[in-house]
């Protein structure tokens, strides 16, 4: 039996390590390259009344971009303009109204004045209640898919000619429900739909120099409904349930479910939205933006892990976060895991 030459084996190992190191260095250098002459480029952002969209609009305005901020209310636009430079423009946008979308597209076309659109940041949140699926009606799914998903797709399609002209980029903000579906099926469908649309768009638009990125972020206090809003929705849904469904869950379930939601908001919602801003900064300013960004520890670790974990494991962990209905015969609520 012949023995392998030790020196040859060592040389192969060294060559492999050197290749890996070279790839890492190349990626770091490439990842840090920035687009030049960004001042004066136009970026259109949806959902700028409050939260992440509002903060991003202010930040990009300070960096010299010509920001076009879409707000759902006149008041939201006025308040944003009051604390921004004269370069920032606002437009009223209702993603559920095709006429409103058309007017916004005309406004963006006029503002860009033949230069094209450098960036489109989609930041709309769906309005589906966060509740057990059989508490919902088909109208609750329409509100998430119609306003959140189809509205964003429609305005993206209509702005594609301007994005192609500027060889710009699209950045879609998607929270952890785009990684793992749990509670509120309509809302999760909206986020999963945005993931699928982003993947398809990225592959097709690369031929035209348009780059598409997804920012998968944690739940942030500035970007989700407060506990009071969630609890008000839950009470409304509970009161409209049929006696049969309500009895199958039980009054104790309702009380424990509200406690679980309150605990989840408190533990999962981060107040530091700068983590998302940093990802958006790179997606808009990097010469080679990444396909996906993770913002927040739970998006990078917990939800990403669950999305790849075996279904039986993710089912067990998620079920532990919420109580059990009375009809299951279990005497106590589920264990509220502290993540």
User: Where does residue 69 rank: exposed (0-12), middle (13-18), buried (19+ CB within 10 A)?
Assistant: buried
Exactly one of 26, 187, 257, 288 is catalytic; which is it?
Answer: 187
Spatial distance between the Cα atoms of 163 and 116, rounded to a whole number of angstroms: 6
Q: How many degrees, rounded to 5, is the angle at CA 330 between CA 328 and CA 333? A: 110
**Residue 272 host element (H or E):** none
Active site residue 249: no
Question: Closest Cα partner for 60 from 39, 35, 33, 37?
Answer: 39
Three-state DSSP at 127 gives coil
Spatial distance between the Cα atoms of 135 and 295, rounded to a whole number of angstroms: 31
User: Where does residue 335 rank: exposed (0-12), middle (13-18), buried (19+ CB within 10 A)?
Assistant: exposed
Active site residues: 187
């Amino acid at each position: 039996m012949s023995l392998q030459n030790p020196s040859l084996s060592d040389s192969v190992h060294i060559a492999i390590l050197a290749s890996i190191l070279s790839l890492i260095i190349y990626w770091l250098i490439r990842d840090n390259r920035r687009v030049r002459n960004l001042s004066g480029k136009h970026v259109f952002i949806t959902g700028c009344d409050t939260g992440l969209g509002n903060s991003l609009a202010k930040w990009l305005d300070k960096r010299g971009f010509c920001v076009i901020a879409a707000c759902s209310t006149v008041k939201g636009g006025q308040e944003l303009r009051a604390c921004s430079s004269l370069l920032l423009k606002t437009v009223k946008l209702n993603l559920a109204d095709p006429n409103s979308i058309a007017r916004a597209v005309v406004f963006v076309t006029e503002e860009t004045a033949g230069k094209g659109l450098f960036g489109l940041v989609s930041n709309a949140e769906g309005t589906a209640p966060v509740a057990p699926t059989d508490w919902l009606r088909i109208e609750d799914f329409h509100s998430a898919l119609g306003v959140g998903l189809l509205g964003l797709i429609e305005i993206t399609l209509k702005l594609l000619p301007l994005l192609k002209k500027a060889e710009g980029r699209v950045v879609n903000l998607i929270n952890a429900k785009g990684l793992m579906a749990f509670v509120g099926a309509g809302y999760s469908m909206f986020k999963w739909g945005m993931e699928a649309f982003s993947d398809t768009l990225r592959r097709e638009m690369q031929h035209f120099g348009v780059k598409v990125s997804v920012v998968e972020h944690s739940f942030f206090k500035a970007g989700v409904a407060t506990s009071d809003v969630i609890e008000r929705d839950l009470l409304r849904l509970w009161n409209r349930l049929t006696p049969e469904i309500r009895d199958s869950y039980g009054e104790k379930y309702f009380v424990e479910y509200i406690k679980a939601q309150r605990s989840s908001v408190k533990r999962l919602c981060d107040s530091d939205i700068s983590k998302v801003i940093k990802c958006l900064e790179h997606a808009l300013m990097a010469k080679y933006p990444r396909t996906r960004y993770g913002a927040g520890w739970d998006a990078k670790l917990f939800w990403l892990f669950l999305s790849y974990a075996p279904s039986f494991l993710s089912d067990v962990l998620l079920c532990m976060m919420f109580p059990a209905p009375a009809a299951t015969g279990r005497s106590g609520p589920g264990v509220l895991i502290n993540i």
